[in-house]
Amino acid sequence: MANAITEAVIRGRLAPCANLSGPVTSTYVWDGEVEMGQEWVLWIKAHETAWEKIEAKIIELHPDDTPAVLAIPCVRANARYSQWLVDHTHV
């Protein structure tokens, strides 16, 4: 599933880069119970203008009812990398 999301986002030119880490152990509350399970963390690096389309694509492809789709703002990035993100994010 994570690979399918990654491929859809990159091939769709919503983001130029993604990193997949895992599995990681997650502890969370679901239906009032504490659960523990393995998850994968997908970091999608894109310009903020792509947020809505990336979010929609993840929700479309993800099997969970409530996937964690978070935008974590970048406080700083080097100028060449920032420009690379802009140049390769087509929304």
| Alpha-carbon span 58 to 6, nearest angstrom | 9
* pLDDT tens-digit readout, 17-54: 999 999 999 999 999 999 999 999 999 999 999 999 99
Q: 57-89: string of b/e by CB count within 10 Å (b at 16+)?
A: bbeebbeeeebeeeeeeeeeeeeeeeebbeebb
pTM of the model as a whole? 0.89
| Alpha-carbon span 44 to 71, nearest angstrom | 9
